Amino acid sequence: MPELPEVEVVRQGLSPRLIGQYLQDISIHNPSLRYPVPPILNNIMSGHQLMDIHRRGKYLLFEFDHEHLLAWHMGMSGQFHVLPASAPTAKHEHLRLNFSETVTLRYRDPRRFGYVGVLEKSDWQQHPWFINMGPEPLSDDFHHDHLHEICTLKGASIKSLIMNAHIVVGVGNIYASESLFRTGIHPSIPGKSLAKEQYQHLTSHIRQTLQDAIDAGGSSISDFVQVDGKPGYFSHNFQVYGRSGDPCYRCRSTIEQCKLGGRSTFYCPSCQPI
């Protein structure tokens, strides 16, 4: 499901419903995720107050009044829902954070690529999941000089480079194609073949594409839903993703599709020349 915009939309949806609430307990219905759900989760976190929900890359960080926090990745198909305790257990519901009779946080994940960990609040950034992460694309840390400096040394395709979380976090398969279309860069061009000025444009288009998607409530392809069950609307704004064979909105050329790094990639051959 989620790239950075979808995770951010989930964070914004969960925050007003959950922050300030006290966690009564955690029930683990099916611990089988990408990494097994830590059995100590309930013992460690129960009784503590949720102070804030942060995002780093595609991870959500649940900060409690406690020396630990929960770091949560939703994988490809993870979903969070806030429901009353009486609501039935959905298919593929893995675990449940029980805050009150009226507020429980359910996590379901059919493909089980998601995972959750208990990290020490004082040095969670040193954890292997975070230690080598690149800058947040919506922050000032994401600068075209930085992108240029790293990518100009690399022979890999520019699409695989911007999807590499060591270089910049949060850009997944959809928004990589969309950002490159907006910039007019062919996805398979090697990083080292691009000019410094192109990195300047790419940086600003990545930023704008992600922000536009957040503003639209994310993209609902497959089954992404916001916490309240509403879909995201950014998929209506896709310029190239999923549009192979259709005319480019800008020049009417036919959108093409190829594979890069095993991932479907979409581009306009005339707006994004080799």
| Positions marked active-site | 2-3, 58, 263
Considering the complex, what minimum distance in angstroms separates the CB of residue 241 from DNA?
8
Amino acid, single-letter form, for residue 184: G
The three state secondary structure string of 208-228 is: HHHHHHHHCCCECCCCCCCCC
Residue 39 or 128 with smaller CB distance to DNA = 128
3-state secondary structure of 17: helix
CB proximity list for 152: less than 8 A, separation 6 or greater: 191, 192, 194, 196, 199
Closest CA to 165 of 4, 57, 11: 57
Residue choice 193, 200, 264, 270 for contact with DNA (CB under 7 A): 264
Is residue 70 exposed (0-12), middle (13-18) or buried (19+ Cβ within 10 Å)?
buried
Residues 160 to 179 in contact with DNA, rule: CB under 7 A: 160, 163, 165, 172-174
Residue type, 260: L
Q: Which stretch binds DNA (CB under 7 A): 37-45, 93-101, 118-126, 222-230?
A: 222-230
Do 237 and 212 contact (CB within 8 A), yes or no? yes
Whichever of 39 and 262 has its CB closer to DNA, that residue is 262
Which residue(s) pair with 238 in the sheet? none
The answer to whether residues 78 and 95 touch, using CB atoms and an 8 Å cutoff, is no
For residues 188-217, which are near DNA according to CB under 7 A? none
Q: Which stretch binds DNA (CB under 7 A): 16-24, 118-126, 197-205, 261-269?
A: 261-269
Segment contacting DNA (CB under 7 A): 44-52, 98-106, 209-217, 254-262? Answer: 254-262
Chosen residue from 55, 68, 73, 148 binding DNA by CB under 7 A: 73
Q: Which is nearer to DNA, 23 or 180 (CB)?
A: 180
Which one, 28 or 76, has the nearer CB to DNA? 76
3 state DSSP class of 160: helix
Per residue, the 3-state secondary structure of 117-153, as one string, reads EEEEHHHHHHCCCCCCCCCCCCCCCCCHHHHHHHHCC
User: Is residue 184 close enough to count as binding DNA by CB under 7 A?
Assistant: no
Which amino acid type is present at position 204? S
Stretch that binds DNA, among 19-27, 36-44, 152-160, 245-253 (CB under 7 A): 152-160
Q: Counting contacts by CB under 7 A, is residue 91 touching DNA? A: yes
Judged by beta carbon, residue 1 or residue 23, the one nearer DNA is 1
154 binds DNA (CB under 7 A): yes
- Closest approach, Cβ 91 to DNA, in A, equals 6
Please state, in angstroms and rounded to a whole number, the distance separating the CA atoms of residues 25 and 96.
8
Q: Which residues from 10-49 bind DNA, rule CB under 7 A?
A: 34
239 counts as binding DNA under rule CB under 7 A: no
Contacts with DNA by CB under 7 A lie at 1-3, 6, 34, 57-58, 73, 75-77, 91-92, 110-113, 128-129, 154-157, 160, 163, 165, 172-174, 218-224, 259, 261-264
